[in-house]
Amino acid sequence: MIHKINFDLGVIESAPTTVRSLIDLRGYFIDEDSFNAAVQKNPVVYTLSSLEYAQGEGQLHCGLGTLMPGKIGSEYFFTRGHLHTWRAAAEVYLGLAGEGYLLLEHENGQTEFQVLSPGQIVYVPGFTAHRTINTSKTPLTYLGIYPAQAGHDYASIKSTNFRHVVVEIDGLPQLIERNEYITRYLHL
């Protein structure tokens, strides 16, 4: 079956689509006061259309994500992020529209902050948690391709979150360690 990307809606036509609103991201953002104020309107933060062509070894799945522009406090809108259930599984992201970043946190503690923009390909190695972040004023649309047996582990991220955040400081996106941001900028 042939599937078509609807760029106006940011979805794959005829594919199941998940919609994540701000309320679905409770506990992920640092600034709880700003979150509580924004959640009253409960905007859509992102959608994800998924295609599972076939199961089994050697098969591929893909997902089209569209992440809306916005911030909670100075922290840009992002996806929940995940590890793969099969930790060794890698993934490839292709930027289609908008501007943003892919936050990669390897199990060895190394953190990377990769640009994700139209035509940009980002390789996510196995054993790496990853989260998409929109730093522009327009929707960020991207395609992710991964092994069918990869699976998605969202629970690990929900319990530990990412060690780093991407926030706007002096008008620019900056990668900063979560606890340092809390100490220096939120004074918690």
Domain ranges for the chain, please list them.
5-186
- Among 43-47, 53-57, 91-95, 104-108, whose mean pLDDT is lowest? 53-57
CATH number of 5-186: 2.60.120.10
pLDDT (tens digit, 9 = 90+) per residue, 89-145?
999 999 999 999 999 999 988 999 999 999 999 999 999 999 999 999 999 999 999
pTM for the complete prediction?
A: 0.94
Q: What is the pLDDT of residue 187?
A: 65
Intra-chain end-to-end CA distance of the chain, in Å: 53
The position carrying tokens 């916005």 is 70
Q: Residue 83 carries which side chain, given as an amino acid letter?
A: L
Two tokens, residue 165: 């955040």
Q: What would the mean pLDDT of 24-45 be, rounded to a whole number?
A: 96
The DSSP symbol for 77 reads P
Question: Closest by alpha carbon to 101, among 172, 18, 5, 9?
Answer: 172
pLDDT band per the 50, 70, 90 thresholds, residue 7: confident
Do the bridges between strand 44-52 and strand 128-134 make them parallel or antiparallel, or are there none, so unpaired?
Answer: unpaired
- Could you tell me the CA-to-CA distances from 135 to 101, 114, 158, 165, 174 in Å, in that order? 7, 12, 22, 12, 10
pLDDT band per the 50, 70, 90 thresholds, residue 186: confident
Backbone angles phi, psi at 41, to 5 degrees: -90, -20
Q: Residue 182 carries which side chain, given as an amino acid letter?
A: I
